[in-house]
Structures are given as C-alpha cells and as structure tokens.
Structure 1
Amino acid sequence: MNRHQIEKIEEIDRAMEHAEAEEVTHDIACYRTILSNVIMIGAPDKDWVLVDTSIHRYQERILHACQQRYGDKPPKAIILTHGHFDHVGSAKKLAEHWQVPIYVHKKEIDYVTGKKSYPPGDPTVGGGMISLLSTLFPTKPEHLEGLITVLPDDGTLPYLSDWTYIETPGHTPGHISLFREEDKCLIAGDAVSTEKPESTWALLFPLQHVYGPPAYFTQDWMDAEQSVKKLAELKPEQIIPGHGIPMHGETMQTELQTLADQFIQQAVPKHKRH
C-alpha cells in the first residue's frame, strides 16, 4: 500500500469520525478503524491487553483511543490474532512506545519475523471493491524480531487468566481466536466477520450479519470451515470480530450455526485462485 493510498484511508477515517473506542462490556472496548478492529481487554481501572493493531501509521490514533480509556497506563502486552497487514501494522511502533511484548501463535511467527510472505490477495473471489484492490495489499513479512514472543502451546494467554485462545487456522496457518468461558465472549479475529469483508459498502454502511473470513486473503478453505465449526460449538453469547460491529444474541447464534452448517455454500467463493 503506497503513501497516497494510506492518506486516502486516513481521510475516510476522519470523515467517519472514529475518534475513540466504544465499550462492548465493562472490561472490553473496540476501536473500529477503517479496515479492522483494535480491541482492548481490561476494565479502565485494571491491567489490560491490546488485541491487534490495524495498519501502519495508525499508532497515534490507537494511542489516543487507549489513553481515553486507560490514561497513561500501558497494556501488559499486545496479542495478535494473525500477521496480516491490517492486524499487525502498528504493532512495532506501539510495542516500542509502551515497552511491552507482542504475542503470536507459533505458526505465524515466520510472517512477523521477516522469513515468510503471505500469498497475494485474490481478486477473483468477488464480493466487492475490496477484493479487487486486494492485490495491492501488503503481504511481505513484518520485522518484529526482538519484540515478538510465541504463545504457550496450552491455549493460555499472558495476563488474561480468564481467557483462552482457540486455534482457528484457515484464513492464515496460525490464526487464533480468543474466548472467555465465563460470559462466552468470543474475539474472533478474521475467522468470522460481522460485515461483508470484501465490500467497501460494508465499511461505510455496516449491516450486522455473520460472514466467513475475508475471502481474498483466506489460504485454506477446508481449515477455515473446521475453524468456524469449532467456534459454533462454543455457543458464544457475543462475537467481537476483526471486521464488523460486535454482535450478540439469538440472531448471531443462529447465523453462526448456519454458517458452520453451510460453510461451502455461504463462504467459499465459486471462483477463486487459491
């Protein structure tokens, strides 16, 4: 993504007046950027953790949103659901500013330490303008060497004793989702979306429905299907996605189960390169 494209995204973001995080529960807030969500776990008077960091050059906006909620108290860590550019972009700047570690699943580590690139975006999946533009999206590995730590294998999350991570590969090999059994809250990353991620109209006029992962970047559709089935089995009460507005209640549960049951028909593009 070149400088002009980034400036246009920032211009749209200003027009949409996404100035601060919105509280989802008493201890979770979501800052909706133009391309993806940045999530804060922790009540304002408690220790907290940041999940995902949007695109490059968003660190000042994210810092502002976090300061509004937590003041000058830094997070204990940054956790990445995966390494795509719209989730990892500002991680390095934020980690250096706060002097905190970044955590990622071991199967994503090569993508964030300069060793391996993701496949390019697939414009053949259809669904909207974002798909057509996906070939321009960055896929080269990030360089977070010295800042990145691999998550434990047992599903535990640092500084989040009441949460676990669920391996949800498909969109990327090491994609994870976060789940809290106590209130059945699911932070889904890109395993599922609540807006049509291929469409620019969905960015500007979001309508809540449960969709599959962003098709233009999904690497393994068989794994993606199994991941959605795994999430549906959790019976979440609330989904906070990487793309879209948080969604809860009976409609969400019904749509998630339908997506799991009819994944091939609903989520897998009829025409795709990968």
Structure 2
Amino acid sequence: MKQVATGVHQLSIQRFVNVYFVEVGLAGEWVLVDSGLPGSEKTIIEAADKLFYPGTHPQAILLTHGHMDHAGSAQALAEHWKVPVLAHPLELPFLTAQAVYPPADPTVDRGGSLAFVSRFFPPQSFQLRDVVQALPTTDADQTVPYLPEWRWLHVPGHAPGQVALFRESDRTLLGADAFATTNHESVPAVLLQQAEISVAGAPFNYDWQQVRQSVQLLAALRPQAIGCGHGPVVQGPEATEGLQRLAEAFPMPAHGRYVHEPARLDANGVAYLPPAPTDPLPGQLKVAAAGALLLGSAALLLQKQRRRNQNKYPQPQPREPRVRRTGKAPQ
C-alpha cells in the first residue's frame, strides 16, 4: 500500500487496478474509492483492517465509474460493510443492469496489448440496484458526500458518468481512468508499474474528444499528487508537468471505431453506436488455423506414406553374429 497524500492510500490489486482509502478527517472515518475486480473484496477488507483497525468499515463506497475493474467487488463489500455505493447518475443504467457499456474497440490505433484482450471481455454491466445511490449533482461546488474537503469533476469519454476527485488544499487528484500513470500499451510497463502519465484504456474510450477535454480539465488543476485507476502514485513536478504535457500534446488515435464518430449515451444508456470497423484478427486467425490444419494433414499423410513404404519394402533384419566353435573345453 502506498500513500498518495495525507489521509489518502492506494492499494494496488494484482499490479493492474487501484483502489483508494480516503480518510474523512476524523479518526477511523474513511471512504473507499472504487472496489477493484470481482473477487477483490477479501484483499480490500484485509487491507482496511490493517490500515485502520480490525472490523473497520467505510462511510460509503464511491465508484468513479462502473467498469468491471472498478465496480467488480462493490456488491460484496457493500453487503459486508452495510454501506451505500455512490456513483454519478449517468452510471446508474450500467450499475443496475438496465444497459451495457459501448463495445470495446480492438481496432483502435495504438491500443496495444489491451486492444487485443479487449476482444474477449464480456459485456460490462452490474446489478447493484439494492445498494447504489446517485451522487448528488445539484451542489454548485460538487462536494463529495462524506468528504467535505473534496470535490468531484465530471470527466466523461471513458465512461459517461466518470468522475475524478480533487482536494484543493494540497492539490491531490484521484483521476479514475481519465488518464493513467503507466503506459497501457506496454505489458512490461504495467507489470513493473513504471510511471508515465498517458492515455488510459484506449479500447474502452467511446468518445475521444471528451477524453481529451477531460484530460485538459484535470491538467488545469495543476495537481501535486496523482493516483489513477491504473499505475503508480505520481507526485511533485512529475505529476503537474506530466499531465500538462499529455493535455498539450494529446495523442489522438489515427483510426478507430469511436475516433471520428463517438457513441452517444444518455440517462438510459447507449443511444447510438457508430458502425464497427472490420476487425482483421478473426480473418487472420482463420488463415492461421487453416494453415495449421493443412500442415497437420500433410504431416499425417506423410506419416501414413512412410508406414506404407515400410510395409512394402521391409528393411532386412540384422543377422546375429556366428559363434566360431574351436573344440576346446571351457577353462
């Protein structure tokens, strides 16, 4: 577990996804930000007991958005701790099984290894109707419930109701998946937790213009400490300047399903999806499979031919050497 700033701790689960323990300001009172992958509840509970005290529980669970790696253990944790789950209203259709997120785009430019595996991700939706509540959006300064020193900012593009959290007093930013603090295009970078402020979750970004605007909004805050959904803690000038560089030279993909025409979402979920581009991988896999089948068939035929030849032209068996008899008695 690593400290982002005073009263803010990051727990990295399986070196891939982060959750945050944010103290309210009073002893033993805190809020959990995000809930990790499905099955992460035991790890999170044990970490909370160690950080605070055995049997502790948060005031609430705040989801920055509802993707599987952020909301996966929300139901189990909410039931264990008997606390509410908070999320932006635009996330509720996806957290109450009324809708599923736009399909991932495995063809997006510079999607890296994440683009490849995104083909195999199941549709993302959860049924949290009994525990989830809408984050209040009428407050002018967007104060975070239970966290009076923090405010939330709407940063869509990756998820329609994605929010980031910012504490003005020390300029601490929890950026969700508006961006990442490691290079998602590189498997070694993710596994080794190499720090680099970069685009997050490219195959799952449904509106690239919004993604860029969200990065620019957060960069204008000039944060001094950053924790995101993916990647290590980044602090000091590296945080401020790294995010500013990403905002100023945002690497807009050259191609992809949602690059030139975004998906449109509303309070009910997905309202429109642009046509899916041709994915070359299935065709390539079919060609590879056909080639493998052809090679296998050729090898089998060759083996059968060899057996026929062996039966037709049997190899002469080697003769046993003759023993010369000398007529002498054994010694």
> TM-score w.r.t. structure 1 length?
0.88
Deviation of the 1:249 alpha carbon: 1.5
Q: Mapping of 1:211-222 within 5 angstroms?
A: 211-222=198-209
C-alpha distance in 1 between matches for 2:13 and 2:189: 13
> Which string of whole-angstrom CA distances, capped at 9 and with x for unpartnered residues, describes residues 149-204 of structure 1?
10111212111000010011111111100000000000000001011124322221
Compute the displacement of 1:66 (Å). Answer: 1.1
Identify unmatched segments of 5+ residues in structure 2. Answer: 259-331
What are structure 1's unaligned runs of at least 5 residues? 1-20
Report SS of the residue matched to 2:27: coil
The residue correspondences of 1:1-274 to structure 2 (distance < 5 A) are 21-34=1-14, 35-42=16-23, 45-71=27-53, 72-125=55-108, 126-153=110-137, 154=139, 155-263=142-250, 266=251, 268-274=252-258
Q: Aligned-pair distance for 1:50?
A: 0.1
Read off the aligned partner of 1:31 and give its amino acid letter: L
Name the SS for the 1:219 alignment partner: coil
Asked if the contact 2:2–2:233 (Cα under 8 Å) also holds between the matched residues in 1, the reply is no
Shift, 1:206, TM fit: 2.1
Contact 1:198 1:216 in 2 (8 A): no
Could you list the per-position Cα deviations for residues 194-231 of structure 1 after superposition, in whole angstroms to 9, with x for gaps in the alignment? 11124322221222111122101111111111111110
Runs of 4+ in 1 over 6 A off after TM superposition: none
- What is the number of equivalent residue pairs in this alignment? 251
TM-aligned CA deviation for residue 44 of structure 1: 9.2
SS at match of 1:228: helix
Aligned position for 2:326? none
Change (3 A) 1:220 1:127: closer
Q: Secondary structure at the match of 1:32?
A: strand
Q: Distance in 1 between matches of 2:234 and 2:72?
A: 25
1:12 corresponds to: none
Q: Distance in 2 between matches of 1:85 and 1:236?
A: 27
Q: Share of identical aligned residues, percent? A: 38
The two structures, once aligned, show a CA RMSD in angstroms of: 1.5
In the alignment, the residues of structure 1 paired with residue 69 and residue 149 of structure 2 have an alpha-carbon distance, to the nearest angstrom, of: 27
Q: Distance in 1 between matches of 2:28 and 2:236?
A: 27
Report the CA distance shift for 1:26/1:68 in structure 2 as closer, same or farther (over 3 A). same
8 Å Cα contact 1:167-1:177 kept in structure 2: yes
Give yes or no for contact 2:105–2:115 (8 Å, CA) kept in 1: yes
Flag the structure with larger Rg.
2
| Structure 2 letter corresponding to 1:252 | A
Q: TM-score, normalised by structure 2?
A: 0.73
Deviation at 1:136, TM superposition (A): 1.7
